[in-house]
Structure 1
Amino acid sequence: MTFKRPIKRKYMLGTTPIEPLKRTSALLKGPELFIKRDDLSLLAGGGNKSRKLEYLVADALRKGADTLVTCGAYQSNHARLTLAAAKREGLKCHLVLSDPTGHGRGAAEASGNLFLDRLLGADKIILKPKDTDLFQALDDEVDACTDAGLKPYAITLGGSSVLGCLGYVDCALEIAAHEISIKEEFDYIVVPVGSGGTMAGLIAGLREAGSKAKVLGINVLMKKVTQEPRIWQLVQQIADLHKIGASAVEEDVQCFDEGLGEGYALPTDEMREAVKLLAEKEGILLDPTYTGKAFAGLIALIRNGFFKPEDKVLFIHTGGSPALFEHQDWFVESNEMTNLPESEDTVE
């Protein structure tokens, strides 16, 4: 299945692998689980936003921009990858970030993605308070860039514009091609839902390809009542502007609040369990904000009997593992490392 797509850059390695989670499936005694490794890409640290940026940065270059401006949380995977793409293309990059937890460390002390933002040489990092309207702050920084004589290109939260969503139409077509090659379909595809573009692109692409797989979104940012209408609007816009997925219906958008906990970027015991489970059983690193919570939501659905034992369920790994380093205290208890052998070497 093909569609007339705009020109894009190349930030993916190619078709990302689909791997069985045999040990996890056996442990959970639920459906047959698989994982699509969209944590693997050519940009620094990898992650799903690379697919969206292939289209967005190509558009920025076509329009003669010299500066990418985007927004997100202070541990934003999207911000890191936007910055990496900017550096690859010789562009400047300004990041407008806020701390959704209200207790994050400053730019000079933080680890994880914010450390990588500094390492990658962000031209400007603006740290805003917890309740900042990031969309307005993004607009303000674009205006400031223009006033300074720059040619800015604004990339919305998560890259989830209609153009950015085409990255996950691509992913959906990869999944459909995999189904054809193995002559077996997935019953469900489970994905973390933050800004919503990943899920919207998947729904549009799968419907366009004729796949029968149902997409289930696990909310990590907003609740079902808010997310489902937003995603459905994106699906409709993809169909209107790019003639992709016109057969999708509103019922195709199904989100769950299992896994969300008290809110975005706030830890839960279920998230800790999910991250440790995939690390110890599969050697795969999830992250505490998106994939950890989404896989926790998937586990909750399994335990609640949502799936049949014969179902085949594909989990989309959207990346984000650098954030683990900022939140080590969420996972490592002080007594877990007390039995290590003493070293004969002393580090001064």
Structure 2
Amino acid sequence: MTVRTLGVEEEFLLVDPETGRPRAVGQAVLAASEDGELTAELQQEQVETATKPCHTLDELSEQIRSARLAASEAAADVGVALVPLATSPLAVEPTIMPSRRYAEMARRFGLTVAEGLTCGCHVHVAVDSPEEGVAVLDRIRPWLAPLHALSVNSPFWNGEDSGYQSFRGQAWQRWPSAGPYAPFGSIAAYREFVDTALGTDTLIDEGMIYLDARLSRRLPTVEVRVADVCREPDDAVLGAGLVRALVQTAADAAERGSAPDPVRTEVLRLAAWRASRSGLDGELLDPRTWRPAPAAEVLEGLVAHVTPALEESGDLHLVRDLLGAVLRRGTGAQRQREIMTRTGDLAEVVRDAVD
């Protein structure tokens, strides 16, 4: 078996290291980047890193850490700090990056752009063809909400406790093309959906197909987009390893002729809301029953679902170790609330997360 390559894109906030407030210096940080591999995002208070395609999780872990370090050094050259938080704990009025595309997005989508400072983690996994990619998209749908629950790292929004473990998950749903999706059945149906969506003149371009998972426009990959940027690099590695195993499991099921779970999109939206609300603290919807179950039990079910793929890639022991670590240590959201409870200071929450 040839193990599929995988890669990760991570978005980060740029903040004043003393006050913790986001700073609109994205262009300057991009200019300070030695390797030129940082990319711009919608707002000037953030930047994005990306790994190269990796064959092993150890290689991915090394690249994630290396990319974070390089981005941190570029940020420091500009006098700011890079932080792996999916929303800013402190109030902020974001500043969009200067571009025609972003200006048109601001005109069309108003407060969705004006308040839209969020940082995600996107996982790319190679597929053999667009046809296989669509078959994978159709079969991974039930497990995307548990993946989101693993990554939750945005409990604070605009200076307030949101009541959610991932308020980024809520803010992201403002986009008209975001969230869960129905099975497509074929690449022709997927392309028809994209063409129809663009034909509504609601979206600017195909880059705004913000589904929880999609075919990459630029790469021969499936791109899973549900996760918050993770505070801990190991959590990003864990999520990526599970995504690769889900892709392989789905591709194998499609090759056997197994039909996708017919669960309705409306149920997936409920599952996504629960993952955003409680993360690992409460119950998630279990894709095996579509009833609430303890988060740890649902995640063990996810590992069981993809165990053959994890064994084939040699990732099973590492994934189990990393999952056990996050269950013991807690998510980024749990850490943020712990710091806030102890200090009563949102700036300290930010400083604690400086990478």
TM-score of the two chains, using structure 2 as the length reference:
0.28
Radius of gyration: which is bigger? 1
Q: Which of the pair is proportionally richer in helix? A: 2
